[in-house]
Amino acid sequence: MSDAPESNVPASTPPQSTVSELIELLSLERLEENLFRGQSRDIGTKYVFGGQVLGQALSAAQATVGRDSERHAHSLHAYFLRAGDIDAPIVYDVDRTRDGGSFSVRRVSAIQHGKVIFFCAASFQATEPGAEHQATMPDVPQPEDIAPRPPRPPEVIARLPPKVQRWLSRSGPFEFRHVSPRDDLDPSKRPPFQQVWFRLSEAVGDAPELHQALLAYASDFQLLGTATFPHGISYYQPNVQMASLDHALWLHRPFRADDWLLYSIDSPSAQHSRGLARGQIFDRHGRLVASTAQEGLIRVLPEAATGP
């Protein structure tokens, strides 16, 4: 028997990893047969991060298709209607629009405070053979040959608003390696395209549904910002307002979100305070695994209108 006094203080538990937090965020609570509830996370954005809603909506749709059907998502088309409240959960209402011989379609509405903030349609297909071709992956350095971006100096971070400090200081669940980095705190003008390697920072299970939901989450990073490149502006400037308006995701081939993927993005147009960006996602073997498109608000206000 030990002579040490007993303690009522519970043993400390290790902090949850950001990857575990993200998987938990995408694991929705089922309220009814077609009704789900997801929590929100403050990652330093002013409102709920669009990728969170995309990933949760796809997770809700997947839960009504069922793994036994062997049908996997091949496309998702979404509209962002209202800014999401970080401090409130989101309810996802799934409509089982169609279950055909090969395809299933679901419509998902995301609801906060009694109002629809987002809706999407997602289509699922049973795997079948057919003709194949794809675009060629850009010739870029491998991720191991690109040094991680160094942390910004503390004196630079200290001068930024608290939300931006939290965003730039956090260690998120995904790791990014930019082929041609840009300083978004002091942006220069450059052509509207970029290539970014990214991967989940920890290995996860093999379920295709999980990797698809993780990719839906990550696909909202980097995309719209590419449309700001020719104008020398960025999301971090107080007189710049940016928000996703819609988002499309096509899933072409199997992939793993915990292995390196190359996001090749371009922006063909910006007009009327809106910018359009398109993306192709390749695995490290050169297979085109997904494509994206997004139009978003890019509004530059007079400096005097932004306040302190």
Q: Which of 244, 267, 280, 291 is catalytic?
A: 244
Q: Is the dihedral of CA 236, 53, 255, 20 positive or negative?
A: positive
pLDDT at 206: 94
Mean pLDDT of the chain: 90
Q: Which two tokens stand for residue 72?
A: 């996997």
pLDDT class for 67, splitting at 50, 70, 90?
low
Does the active-site annotation cover 264? no
The CA distance from 280 to 249, in Å, is: 10
Distance of CA 125 to the CA centre of its chain: 23
What share of the chain has pLDDT > 70, as a percent? 91
The CA distance from 100 to 84, in Å, is: 33
* Cα dihedral: 15, 260, 263, 196 (round 10): 70
**Does 253 score more than 90 pLDDT?**
yes
What is the tens place of the pLDDT at every residue in 125-164? 999 999 999 999 999 999 999 999 888 888 887 777 777 7
- Residue with tokens 């409240």, as numbered in its chain: 85
pTM of this structure: 0.90
Q: Which of 104, 220, 258, 267 is catalytic?
A: 220
pLDDT at 13: 44
One-letter identity of residue 283: D
Mean pLDDT over residues 52-70, rounded?
Answer: 90
**Does 106 score more than 60 pLDDT?**
yes
Beta bridge partners of 106: 122
pLDDT at 8: 39
Does the active-site annotation cover 294? yes
Does the active-site annotation cover 241? no
Domains of the chain: 18-127+141-305 (2.40.160.210)
